[in-house]
Amino acid sequence: MTGRHTVTHPRIPPRRGGGGGTWWSKAWGRAVEESAFAVAELRRGRALARAGEVGAIAVDSGSAVAAVSDRDDAWTVTISVPVLDERDRATFVELVGAESGRIAAMLAGQLPYALLEACEEAGIELLPYGGELGSTCTCDSWLDPCPHALAVLTQVGWLLQADPFVLLQLRGLSREAVLAGLHALAGRGGADDLAVAEDAALRAARILTALEADPEADVGRWW
């Protein structure tokens, strides 16, 4: 089972701050802080991110690429994150299918903490630490990560705050790969709970579509 499927996220416009954040985006933020060479570079990277200087971010299995504007120049940044091996990817899908609410929660933009705990018990580390965040940049800085890379890493944190599948994509599991894995488990008679999970996922997808069309829509009837 592979998770290679590039997803390009549009440029994020300037913003005053990163917002309160979710527990998983805060964990990503701590890893970014750990990876920074010094506070000055971290602040510069965050300032570039908040100023909207990062272009569209292409997220793939184990990497994310974006252009960063800095004064009169533009640089290309590639960040890298270790992907889960095949056994861990398969185990993760099984853990998602083990409880009916997990895939529905993820499709609704949530990452259940109980799922993270189950992953840790199985020896799977979803959230990276600072030393796992690699980067390259076309600028002439000797720092790794440089402020441009820190800007991209900061905005990646904003992306996964809204969609935990961004984190999974970086770890080698695209949304399509997770759903395909769940369907494969169902095809092997992977438990009644999985059928319930898939039904919940479909309801969650309908809710998301309805809320995009009308934020005030009454979606309670789908549950």
Per residue in 50-99, pLDDT (tens digit) is 999 999 999 999 999 999 999 889 999 999 999 999 999 999 999 998 88
12 and 80 belong to one structural domain: yes
73 and 147 belong to one structural domain: yes
Which has the minimum average pLDDT: 5-9, 42-46, 67-71, 187-191?
187-191
| Residue at 165 is within a domain | yes
164 and 178 belong to one structural domain: no
| Residue at 102 is within a domain | yes
What 3-state class would DSSP assign to 65? strand
* pLDDT at residue 184, as a whole number: 84
Higher pLDDT, 212 or 172: 172
Distance CA 73, CA 53 (A): 11
* pLDDT at residue 158, as a whole number: 95
Give yes or no for residue 222 having a pLDDT over 50: no
**Count of domains in the chain?**
2
| Residue at 217 is within a domain | no
133 and 76 belong to one structural domain: yes
Domain that holds residue 140: 1-84+129-172
pLDDT band at 188 (very low <50, low <70, confident <90, very high): low
Q: What average pLDDT does the segment 148-173 reach?
A: 96
* pLDDT at residue 221, as a whole number: 46
> Tell me, what amino acid is at 80?
S
Place of tokens 């609704």: 108
| Residue at 27 is within a domain | yes
Place of tokens 């059928």: 195
20 and 117 belong to one structural domain: no
119 and 158 belong to one structural domain: no
Residue 220 per-residue DSSP state = G
| Residue at 167 is within a domain | yes
Q: What predicted TM-score, i.e. pTM, was given to this entire model? A: 0.83
80 and 159 belong to one structural domain: yes
Distance CA 169, CA 46 (A): 23
Distance CA 153, CA 134 (A): 10
Give yes or no for residue 207 having a pLDDT over 80: no
Q: What average pLDDT does the segment 2-28 reach?
A: 83
100 and 139 belong to one structural domain: no
78 and 135 belong to one structural domain: yes
5 and 104 belong to one structural domain: no
Distance CA 221, CA 116 (A): 30
Average pLDDT across the chain, whole number: 86
20 and 105 belong to one structural domain: no
* pLDDT at residue 99, as a whole number: 85
* pLDDT at residue 191, as a whole number: 43
What 3-state class would DSSP assign to 36? coil
Q: What average pLDDT does the segment 127-139 reach?
A: 95
| Residue at 111 is within a domain | yes
Nearest to 113 by CA among 78, 164, 68: 164
pLDDT band at 101 (very low <50, low <70, confident <90, very high): confident
Q: What average pLDDT does the segment 189-200 reach?
A: 51
Burial code (b: 16+ CB inside 10 Å, e: under 16) for 161-179 equals bebbbbbbbbbbbbbebbb
| Residue at 222 is within a domain | no
pLDDT band at 100 (very low <50, low <70, confident <90, very high): confident
* pLDDT at residue 151, as a whole number: 97
* pLDDT at residue 219, as a whole number: 42
DSSP 99-116: SHHHHHHHHTT---HHHH
DSSP 134-198: EEEESSS---SS-HHHHHHHHHHHHHHHH-THHHHHHTT--HHHHHHHHHHHHHTT--HHHHHHH
Which phi and psi angles does 75 have, rounded to 5°? -125, 150
168 and 179 belong to one structural domain: no
